[in-house]
Chains A and B, each alone.
Chain A
Amino acid sequence: MNIASILATKGDKVVTVRGEQSIREALGVLAQHNIGALVVVDAGLRPIGILSERDIVRAAAKDEKVFPLLVSQLMTRDLVLGDPGDDLGAVGQTMVQRHIRHLPVVDGGKLVGMVSIGDVVKAQRDQYQGEVDTLQTIVMEHGA
């Protein structure tokens, strides 16, 4: 199973922000969409960083005047990018090992979606549940 099947049920909108926008604006976008991270893109819609609620919390703990700062000042530049064809299991392992909670997915350099650790957990749970259910049905209907 690949992560394209996660993106397939998320509509086709990806919430992004630009590096020159303020943290105040970014917080508004996070709250409006009820999400935990934003992909930061350049003018060509290529991902250049990721801004998570944690990045903002960390900065706010040091200095309460975070609102006027720019997204580019707080974003994480060390990006791990996914591909729609990436295996669900491999992505899950990578996210756990590297403590990544959001994986922007690109196709031919263009941002096509975002996969969260919650999406991965849900997809894996559905996969296992489906396998167990299939086996149970075979046993029950067959009277084995």
Chain B
Amino acid sequence: MALGSAERPLRVAVIGAGPAGFYVAEHVLRRPDLVAEVDMYDRLPTPYGLVRAGVAPDHQKIKAVTGAFDKVAAHPSFRFFGGVELGKHVSVSDLRTHYDQIVYTTGAQTDRRMGIPGEDLPGSHPATEFVAWYNGHPDYRDCQFDLSQERVAVVGVGNVAVDVARILCRTPDELAATDIAEHALEALRHSRVKEVYLLGRRGAAQAAFTNPEIKELGELQAADVTVVPQEVELDPLSRQALEQGGDRAGMKKVEILQSYARRPRSGKPRRLALRFLVSPVAILDNGCGAVGGIRLVHNRLVASAAGTIQAQATGELEELAVGLVFRSVGYRGVPLPGVPFDDKWGVVLNEKGRVLDPDTKQPLAGEYTAGWIKRGPTGVIGTNKPDASETVTEMLEDVAAGQTLQPSEPDPAAAERLVRQRQPDYVAYADWLRLNELEVARGVGRGCPRVKFTRVDEMLAALGNRTRP
């Protein structure tokens, strides 16, 4: 019986129910010449990964991609095992017993550190924890952030940093109309935050945020955006790079920021200060063992040998009095139990998605990776689609060459028995769709897209007794 035929379907386990996992499942299930069965595992009972727990609640349109994921999940050969964790409920060797191929799509789960003094003072947090908290991720449900502080610094100018700054500046009414978690909405209602500093180490032209994102910052109901004019002047190096690259969007970005620099304050109660060409060198103690300020060094721009415009410290220092710091200077993957890891890049050790044996550097039969845990945290949601496609191409080449796992129990019923035995409370996709309806129904009262369940026991209680086949 040929593997991938109706008599013996290809059995694939996908670990992690974020965009990369769904794109892998989609590519595998939609091959016309292949019969496959996909079981998707996630440590949370809910699917969608960072689309649910990362994308900002006031960016609902981006979350619409979950509609495409639901279509993949509706395939008769797709199953979801939510609330089942690799290394806790099932091991890699369990998976090898039940599947021909395993794909790790667990994302980049931890933040990079700045490596400066004071980073661990109370009041200094990874921005991702704040994001997971306001998005209702069960693991971050009980985080505490001191929103009685009036001044906050957000380090970084990537998507996450901009999201955090924007959420801190929104009014309770603006937030209530989103699917922000109830506990976060309640805490932000009592926020005393007045000034938010968004700190970029390079210049305006190098900032990662997009033009729609900057425009959004200029249209906040209750916050004026301010820019220091000298910090957004276009330096000769950046001008040359923008012109040679024909980067009109980049040019426009600088123009918008320059227009903000000329804009007078309109007297809104909050201020969002965009700063460029500054790097934190220390987080300062307020004298009581908590964050009291941040010391910045001013930068100038220089070109690297390969042409990148980089920040170089000038030695000129500045201190900002702030009581709360969020750092967002990059992410890293977390090693998975039993899976080779490349510590240099913070990813699963791989070549184009094939997991490699750390000793021989040769592919491990039947094990693959896709998404941020494969290439590192770059790109938008859709970037994971070509990335997943590359991995699936390798997977099918290996099927053709007979290079797969040799599972002793390649039977869907056997895999489900294992899951039920190890994690009786697992959540199937039909369960999730019911939870989804309940969340949406809870949102009607608040006038928002949904009110999320933010505790696992809450989710299971809402689902009640489930009949299992």
Contacts and interface: CB of A to CB of B under 8 A. Distances in A.
Interface residues of A, number: 42
Interface stretch (B286-294, B380-388, B404-412, B422-430): B380-388
Contacts of A5: 375-376, 378
B178 to A, nearest CB: 16
B309 A90 contact: yes
Interface stretch (B8-16, B58-66, B252-260): B58-66
A56 interface: no
Interface in B351-400: 351-353, 356, 361, 374-376, 378-387
A134 interface: yes
Contacts of B386: 125-126, 129-130
A105 to B, nearest CB: 9
A2 to B, nearest CB: 7
B306 A133 contact: no
Given A5-B375, A12-B361, A131 B380 contact: yes
A7 interface: yes
Contacts of A11: 349-351, 356, 361
Contacts of A137: 64-65, 68, 381-382
A94 B307 contact: yes
A93 B241 CA distance: 9
Interface string A120-144: 0000011101111111011011100
A130 B352 contact: no
Given A134-B380, A137-B64, A138-B64, A80 B385 contact: no
Given A4-B376, A9-B374, A91 B308 contact: yes
A138 B61 contact: yes
A103 interface: yes
B65 A82 contact: no
A1 interface: yes
Contact of B344 (A12, A82, A85, A90): A12
A113 B386 CA distance: 23
Contacts of A86: 304, 306-308
A81 interface: yes
Given A4-B345, A9-B350, A130 B384 contact: yes
B306 A142 contact: no
A112 B343 CA distance: 13
Contacts, number: 126
A39 to B, nearest CB: 15
A12 B346 CA distance: 12
Interface of A: 1-2, 4-5, 7-13, 80-83, 85-87, 89-91, 93-94, 97, 103, 107, 112, 125-127, 129-135, 137-138, 140-142
A84 to B, nearest CB: 8
Given A2-B378, A81-B305, 9 more contacts: A9-B350, A12-B344, A13-B361, A91-B307, A93-B241, A103-B306, A129-B386, A131-B380, A134-B382
A122 to B, nearest CB: 9
Interface residues of B, number: 43
Contacts of B376: 4-5, 8
Contacts of A83: 304-306, 308
Given A8-B376, A12-B342, A112-B344, A132 B306 contact: no
Q: Which of B305, B309, B350, B381 has the most CB of A within 10 A?
A: B305
9 contacts: A4-B376, A83-B308, A85-B308, A87-B308, A89-B245, A89-B247, A91-B306, A91-B308, A138-B65
A1 B382 contact: no
Most-contacted residue by chain A among B65, B347, B386, B387 (CB, 10 A): B386
A57 B376 CA distance: 37
B244 interface: yes
Which 5 residue pairs across A and B have the least CB separation, nearest first? A130-B383, A133-B382, A134-B382, A94-B307, A141-B64
Contacts of A127: 379, 383
A97 B304 CA distance: 15
A15 B378 CA distance: 26
A125 B390 CA distance: 13
Contact of B306 (A7, A10, A90, A112): A90
Q: Looking at A13, A90, A135, A140, which has the most chain B CB atoms within 10 Å of its CB?
A: A90
A127 B386 CA distance: 9
Contact of A126 (B310, B345, B350, B387): B387
Contact of B380 (A2, A7, A93, A130): A130
Contacts of B353: 9
A133 B382 CA distance: 5
B67 interface: yes
Nearest to B391: A9
Given A9-B351, A93-B241, A141-B64, A80 B378 contact: no
Given A4-B345, A5-B376, A138-B62, A90 B381 contact: no
Given A8-B347, A11-B351, A130 B307 contact: no
A142 B64 CA distance: 7
